[in-house]
Amino acid sequence: MASHRKSRPVGTRVAGIRTPALATAALTSVALLSQSANAAPADDRPSLEEVEKKVDDLYRQAESATDNYNAAKEKTATQRKQVDTLLDDVARRTEKLNEAREELGSFAAAQYRTGAAAPDTATFLLSDTPQDYFDQTQLMGRLTNRQKGAVDDYVSEQSATMKKRQEASQSLQTLTETQSDLKTAKATVQKKLADAREMLSELTAQEKARLAAIEKRKQEEAARKAAELAQQQAAAEKAAQETTAPQESTSTATDSSYATKAAKALAFVRAQIGKPYVWGATGPDSYDCSGLTQAAWKAAGVDLPRVTYDQVNAGTTVSLADAQPGDLVFFYDDISHVGLYIGNGMMIHAPKPGAYVREESIYYDGESAIHSVVRPA
């Protein structure tokens, strides 16, 4: 008779040992969980280097938006003055127009009383648009020379007043648009700065310490590059002195004049060290980058434009190797930052929100960040 043994459950061998199916399933689950854990990233947060780059980009974007804000603010101030001037002019002309109309009215009343003119002449002379009537030879022939002069003055003043009113209206519209641009630029700056602060606030104390270490290494590299530039400039200056005749030249006189002005700018900017960066500020208690350079050169008697992308055109471009104390050093492709060169590869600048006016290497953000060097006087 056939055997009725129960079949054994199918299992697998692990190290030569047959394991039950249930154990096999458990092992398979563990393996799958292990694979899933290995496949998923332990932390999807950005690295510190990525955080630093994003924060720096946000600060740069905020500084670029600050330039737009500064330009709109300056334009708004100019347009407001223009509007005020036009409105004052319109008011004066309107008063003069009213006086001319009163004079015409007296003529019309006298003519009506004496019967020297038809009754509709008074209505014509007191109307707002009498020009069509004035062109009629028959009517003009009935006016005296004095009356004709009054009519001509009235028409001329009315035309000029209307023109000024139109100019004032257009200027008011332009001012409104510029104020809107100013508001937009301000909101953009505030948003970029808020985003940067939020990213930094999410870092742990340990991450902040590591970020500070990264920044320190960048500063050390920047200082090394500045020292190299100082050596190169010193060598070039020595070589130039050895090959130049000891006679006074126009070039030397020009250099001396520039050095005198630059010394005043440098003395001013050194006195600002330690004051806070505040976007849109032009001193005396705080500055943004272009506000600082503008104030420094103003102390030397040189007027610079307000924003970086105008300051970069307010002088002569020179090579980095030929940079002299007092020159303006511009950064980034969008020319959104500027500092005042003080020699030896160093500058004084207002760096960014949360920082203070300080002396720093021109390589603070790497050599590729340097856009150009401009001599403003």
**Contacting residues for 299 by C-beta, under 8 A, at least 6 apart:** 264, 265, 267, 268
* Whether the Cβ atoms of residue 308 and residue 67 lie closer than 8 Å to each other: yes
User: Cα(116)–Cα(139) distance, rounded to whole angstroms?
Assistant: 11
If phi > 0 it is left, if psi is from -120 to 50 it is alpha, else beta; for residue 323 that is beta
* Whether the Cβ atoms of residue 282 and residue 291 lie closer than 8 Å to each other: yes
| Pairing assessment for the beta strands 316-318 and 370-375 based on DSSP bridges | antiparallel
Residues of the chain by 3-state class (helix, strand, coil), percent to 5: 65, 10, 25
Identify each DSSP E strand in the chain by its residue range: 12-14, 17-19, 316-318, 328-331, 337-343, 346-349, 358-361, 370-375
Query: Which position among 60, 186, 192, 349 bears the catalytic label?
Result: 349
Residue 47 bears catalytic tag: no
For 329, phi then psi, to 5°, come to -110, 120
Residue 289 bears catalytic tag: yes
Query: Which position among 60, 75, 337, 375 bears the catalytic label?
Result: 337
Collapsing DSSP to helix, strand or coil, 183 comes out as: helix
For 348, phi then psi, to 5°, come to -115, 130
User: Cα(313)–Cα(335) distance, rounded to whole angstroms?
Assistant: 11
Collapsing DSSP to helix, strand or coil, 53 comes out as: helix
Residue 371 bears catalytic tag: no
Burial (CB < 10 A; 0-12, 13-18, 19+), residue 320, is middle
Query: Which position among 265, 289, 304, 374 bears the catalytic label?
Result: 289
Tell me which residue of 368, 213, 362, 188 sits closest to 279, measured CA to CA. Answer: 188
Active-site annotation, residues: 289, 337, 349
